[in-house]
Amino acid sequence: MSAVVHAQAPSHGVGVDSTSGTRRIFVFWVPLIAFIVLTLFPFYWMLLASLKANSELYNLRSFPFWVSTPTLDHYKYLFERTLYARWLMNTLIVSVASTAISLLFGILAGYALARLRFWGAGVLGVAVFISYLVPQTLLFIPMFDVIKTLNIGDTRWALILTYPTFLIPFCTALLMGYFKSIPRELEESALIDGSSRLRALLYIVLPLAMPGILSAGIFAFTLSWNEFIYALVFITTTPMKTLPVGVVNELIRGDVFFWGSLMAGALLGSVPVALIYSFFVEHYVAGLTAGAVKG
């Protein structure tokens, strides 16, 4: 009887492993593959549209998911007939400058709200985050008056100084949660040894908070790169436009859409942000997780 039991045991284990493997495929791999396909399909579609000639692009009988005769005419039009390179440089300068300003003030404000004990710190932290939720459609009119008073309209400074108004609140809230996850004992030991508060922040807190700082910086850079409303209202001349506004205004003329060049511009405009995410994705996720848990 025992021999029969021992003989049947291996076959039972194989059945369990087979069932577990099948379940893993349907529970894990199928949703993962579906998610990857749905996420990357828009980029694949933009690539196809940017490489198709107009005759193939507007031919409804052609196979939509492949290119029969690839061409770079849309990319040539983008760089030769428009100021795409200038728009790209404007967007890069504005995004880097506004991100740097937002990180500087976000680090100082987040550290103060997380570490310094003063009356109303909790209420002030909530108020800072709530200010991030105010829609830009309510703010661009009063901000336009400020820009007009400062006489910086139609310049990069109009965007560099207004973008931090919605970037600093988020950076502050995220970094405040991350600073709370760092043990206070590290700073207290440095302060007891004679270090100043600023020195402890620079040499102890900031290195430990680097994942949170990177995640806040990536988020701020992405928002600045894709911002549309402020760039549309505050910038009027074509050479000073940013990438989202320039591509839309110059490649959509009335009811005529230059789809090939539009897709080429959108695809090239998404490359810098995609590269940043690919290099710092681990730190980005770690920073968001710690900020959400401790915030």
Q: Helix, strand, coil % (nearest 5) of the chain?
A: 80, 0, 20
Q: What is each CA distance from 70 to 48, 53, 81, 214, 257, in whole angstroms? A: 9, 7, 20, 39, 20
Angle 47-49-55 from CA coordinates, rounded to 5°: 145
Better-predicted residue by pLDDT, 5 or 41:
41
pLDDT tens digits for range 100-141: 999 999 999 988 888 887 777 778 877 887 887 888 888 888
Strands 252-253 and 256-257: antiparallel
Res 282: pLDDT: 66
Determine which of 164-173, 205-214, 277-286 has the lowest per-residue pLDDT on average.
277-286
| Residue 160: pLDDT over 90 | yes
CA–CA dist 148, 153 (Å, integer): 6
Cβ-contact 128, 69 below 8 angstroms: no
| Residue 27: pLDDT over 70 | yes
Specify the CATH class of 73-294 in words. mainly alpha
pLDDT tens digits for range 188-197: 888 888 888 8
pLDDT tens digits for range 48-60: 989 998 888 888 7
Domain boundaries, the chain: 2-57, 73-294
What proportion of the chain, given as a percentage, has pLDDT over 70? 88
Cβ-contact 159, 98 below 8 angstroms: yes
Number of neighbouring beta carbons within 10 Å of residue 223 = 17
Res 14: pLDDT: 52
| pTM, to two decimals | 0.81
